[in-house]
Structures are given as C-alpha cells and as structure tokens.
Amino acid sequence: MRLALYQPDIPQNAGSLMRLCACLGVAMDIIEPCGFLLSDRNFRRAGLDYRGDLTRHESWEAFSTQKRGRLVLLSTKAAQPYAGFDFAPGDTILVGRESAGVPESVHQAADARLLIPMRAGMRSLNVAQAAAMVLGEALRQTGLFPALEAICSN
C-alpha cells in the first residue's frame, strides 16, 4: 500500500501525511513540483522526526513510469464512494493539490476514482483528513494495519 501526493501546496498537510504513513507502515510518494521546499521548516515540523519510506518523483511522468499496482485517485469529481471500493494491498492512493486537485490527464490515468460523500453544499475536506480516512479503510480491508503485538510492545 502506498500514498502519493500530487504536487502538494501546503507543507503542514504533507508533513502530517508523512507522519501518518510512517506510523502506519505505508510508503509515501511525493510528485513534484511542490508548492514549498521539501526542506521547509513547516514540513519538517509537521512530520516531526517521522520519515518512513518516502520517495520523491521529479514529475508526474517520472512517477507514472514507476507505478506499482492500481492507482486510486481521491477526487471530488468521482462518482464511486470509497467505502464501497474493494482495495488491494498493492494499491497506490493518490491525492491532488489542495488548491487545484489534479489535471484531467491524471484523472484519466487512474485505475479508479473515488469520492468521500459529504453533505450538500460542501466542496471538499482537507487533503490530509481525506487521505487519512481512505487510507484507514484501505488498511482495514486489506488487513495491513500494524500488528497489535507491535503496538503493545512499544
């Protein structure tokens, strides 16, 4: 299981997701260019000392040539709710830019496009919250949450 961030704009969200992935044992991809320097103080502060398995890709093209498993895009333009989707261990969950989502070419490249149902009139959730919700469901379905024994021994 992987989480990919497409050209993230907000270092605090990227740092929070880096921490989430490190804690859950999920690999993370950052597809550049970012709207901030990866050495940005806010990015480091939000991620604390949690680095985990982080791979940087200089572009969408570089990332897409290394794609593993299915690419599952979270989008407000999707029609399929995430809770009804059957996740697989090799899936890469992709989230877009906070300010603009992803371009149509990335939508078309995705193997699945999922949405989080919301109340009428609401535009979108924070990207870190959306990623955490869907990643949690994907880990639950696939049995990939860290083992309870490992958690209790720390």
pTM above 0.85, yes or no: yes
CA distance 95 to 49: 23
Dihedral sign for Cα atoms in the order 63, 69, 70, 73: negative
At the second CATH level, the architecture of 2-152 is 3-Layer(aba) Sandwich (3.40)
Residues 6+ apart with CB under 8 A from 89: 1, 69, 142, 144
Residue 121, token pair as written in the block: 């009139």
Q: Per residue in 20-60, pLDDT tens?
A: 999 999 999 999 998 776 665 655 555 556 667 889 899 99
Q: For 77-113, how does the pLDDT look when each residue is reduced to its tens digit (9 = 90+)?
A: 999 999 999 999 999 999 999 989 999 999 999 999 9
